[in-house]
Amino acid sequence: KQVASTLLDKPGGYLTNDIAPPGLWLDNMPSWEYGVLVQVRDLSRALRKDFARSQSQSTEDADLSKAEPLFNFDNRSWALPASESEYRNGIRFLDRYLARLSDPAPKAQFYTRADNLNNWLGDVGTRLGSLSQRLSASVGRVRLDAQVAPDLERDGVRQVVEEQRVETAWLQIDNVFYEARGQAWALSHLLRAIEVDFADVLAKKNAAISVRQIIRELEAAQEPLWSPMVLNGSGYGVLANHSLVMANYISRANAAIIDLRNLLSQG
């Protein structure tokens, strides 16, 4: 809830759907907002699908089932309705869920089980893996693509390996960078909440240190950018490459999440 509220109430407000200057000219902050929104959407789905349900056949929480589609509303809608109004409605339903959860006689449920946490972390790992690839593509990468028809593969036909050069468009480099910062910022706060809510589970699995390590990597991705722009030097060139530095932190966080998931499932 607090992460979603910050998205709307930070200085300057929500900029992604602005149709007039200065918001129209600012693309870095909308990219950051989209990164935060991606994590809010993933967690709202996890709350509805896993955390608030005892098993797959149990009934969904009424407020969470209304909140999730609201957070998945078009992030660029200016009016009728505006994105902000839909997201605030989603926050309102989250407030109602939290109020019922904190009632002395709880009328809502929150199940802190290892399998629930593992499912959400799987989504997080997928997001971070994709971000790492997109950030690394800032300098252009040759990717091997092995293609073979499924029916021919059974007959022992050799795969045809093709090389594809993947490179982020020059005008999109800073957008990918700030989207990664947004996701890293949101995840660092969400994992701090997980560290508290799932303290018993993490202690039993000896996984509390793993969560702290992930948070540390994500916080390192939030260090101030002292350059007036996102530099895109070649890998070992004279200029820095901020995208590759960010990709390093994101990859390390993703590797730690993989280790954490193994602990939760096997530890």
Question: Which domain, by its residues, includes 122?
Answer: 113-138+169-267
CB neighbours (10 Å) of residue 1?
A: 17
Residues 104, 119, single domain; the answer is no
What integer pLDDT is reported at residue 125 of this predicted model?
Answer: 94
Verify that 122 and 216 share a domain, yes or no.
yes
pLDDT-based confidence at residue 254 (cuts at 50, 70, 90):
very high
Write out pLDDT tens, residues 33-53.
999 999 999 999 999 998 988
Count other Cβ atoms within 10 Å, centred on residue 252. Answer: 19
Residues 91 and 132 in one domain: no
Do the domain assignments include residue 160?
Answer: no
In a domain, 149, yes or no: no
Tell me, yes or no, whether 107 and 118 share the same domain: no
**Residue pair 112/197 in contact by the 8 Å Cβ criterion:** yes
Look at residue 117 in the predicted model and tell me its pLDDT: 93
- Whether the Cβ atoms of residue 39 and residue 33 lie closer than 8 Å to each other: no
Task: With respect to residue 175, please indicate whether it lies within any of the assigned structural domains.
Answer: yes
Indicate whether 103 and 126 sit together in one domain: no
Are residues 2 and 89 both part of a single domain?
Answer: yes
Q: What is the mean pLDDT of residues 116-135?
A: 93
Q: Which of 139, 162, 163, 215 is nearest to 184 (CA)?
A: 215
Average pLDDT, the chain: 87
The predicted pLDDT at position 82 comes to 92
Where does residue 114 fall: left (phi above 0), alpha (psi -120 to 50 degrees), or beta otherwise? alpha
pLDDT for res 235 = 66
Residue 202 resides in a domain: yes
For 169-224, what is each residue's pLDDT tens digit? 777 888 999 999 999 999 999 999 999 999 999 999 889 999 999 999 999 999 98
Q: Do residues 33 and 117 share a domain?
A: no
Rounded to an integer, the average pLDDT of 88-112 is 91
Which residue, chain included where needed, has tokens 């009632």?
A: 103
193, 210, 219, 222: which is closest to 257 by C-alpha? 210
Q: Is the pTM of the predicted complex or chain greater than 0.85? A: yes
CA angle 163, 169, 175 (to 5 degrees): 130
Residue 22: which pLDDT band, with cuts at 50, 70 and 90? confident
pLDDT digits (tens, 9 = 90+) for 127-165: 999 999 888 888 766 666 655 555 555 556 666 667 767
> Which of the two residues, 18 and 32, has the higher pLDDT score?
32
**How far is Cα 77 from Cα 226, in angstroms, rounded to an integer?**
33
Tokens of 48: 């509805």
Over residues 54-61, the mean pLDDT reads 79
On the question of pLDDT at 264 being above 60, the answer is: yes
How far apart are the C-alpha atoms of 138 and 6, rounded to whole Å? Answer: 29
In sequence order, which ranges of the chain are alpha helices (DSSP H)? 2-9, 28-46, 62-71, 83-101, 114-136, 150-153, 173-197, 199-204, 208-220, 242-266
**Cβ contacts of residue 148 below 8 Å, gap of 6+?**
157, 158, 159, 160
Which of 200, 198, 253 has the alpha carbon at shortest distance from 222?
A: 253
User: CB-based contacts of 20: which residues, under 8 Å, 6+ apart?
Assistant: none
**Range with lowest mean pLDDT among 58-67, 92-101, 159-168, 219-228:** 159-168
The residue assigned the tokens 């089980």 is 113
Contact 229, 170 (CB under 8 A): no
Task: Provide the pLDDT confidence category of residue 108 given band limits of 50, 70 and 90.
Answer: confident
- Of 60 and 218, the structure prediction assigns the larger pLDDT to 218
For 170, residues 6+ apart whose C-beta sits below 8 A from its C-beta are: 232
